[in-house]
Structure 1
């Protein structure tokens, strides 16, 4: 089930985010991956908007958006390859005109997923020794 992200989801979001970003950090060979340093307090201050994917009562994934930019798309590794990220993006695009996203250049699964939704690369930059790809969807 997909529903809007609520403030009471922030602790679960942080847990899923940490598990998902550990996988991404490994894909990117990143020793110090900035998203892994995010705290619950920072998420509370950010007050992200978006959607969560629940399996029963368990938060299995989430997508957040700020204006027209997807700020996070995370799926708990225990639920990888079950279509959760795809479902979250589909739901997001039914409710938002989000058209920008950034991911690691070596995160092939994310790049393939975003390409399926019509995103194309517009820029590459290095931040904290990580090559990032900026993508836009027309």
Structure 2
């Protein structure tokens, strides 16, 4: 397993993996109209131009995970952390999270997830993130913001 910076040529494959990986989140929320499932290649390219995108390769050089981050006012904002469903639960998400923190110089890190995403919350808290804010988006959805 290799973690490296993604290239523009990787973005289409990363987007397809994102669509696959966020199916479980959509099921949790009972909503398949969530932004990660509607994102376009152009939007992913814009994110790429304004931050850092990492990828994880398996032994056959297939992308099996990704994370993005960007720095603003000394804070590293982390998003779109996902791993292929087959590879989930094997520590890859943790490694990606630690690598994006290491790659991007920052004073503080921030990310968010759904209150229904128990596995995500567990992962983030295990690596030192603490909840600092909750935002109710609708009766069915609350975002949990964490920082480190």
Instruction: Give yes or no for contact 1:70–1:99 (8 Å, CA) kept in 2.
Output: yes
Rounded Cα–Cα distance in structure 1 between residues aligned with 2:61 and 2:10: 11
> Which residue in the other structure is 1:17 paired with?
18
* Alignment of 1:58 onto 2:62: yes
Q: Quick one: distance in 2 between partners of 1:30 and 1:83?
A: 27
> Could you tell me which residue of structure 1 aligns to residue 119 of structure 2?
109
CA RMSD of aligned residues (A): 1.5
Indicate the residue corresponding to 1:89 in structure 2. Answer: 97
Contact 1:60 1:76 in 2 (8 A): yes
CA contact (8 A) 2:23 2:32 kept: no
Q: How does 1:62-81 map to 2 (within 5 A)?
A: 62-67=66-71, 68-81=76-89
Shift of 1:50: 2.4
Structure 1 residue 31 displacement after superposition: 4.1
My pick for the range that moved more, 40-49 or 59-68, is: 40-49
Instruction: Structure 1: state its 5+ residue gaps.
Output: none
Residue in 1 that maps onto 2:141: 130
- Stretches (4+) displaced over 3 A: none
- How many residues are aligned here? 137
Q: Which moved more, 1:45-54 or 1:116-125?
A: 45-54
Q: Unaligned regions of 5+ residues in structure 2, if any? A: none
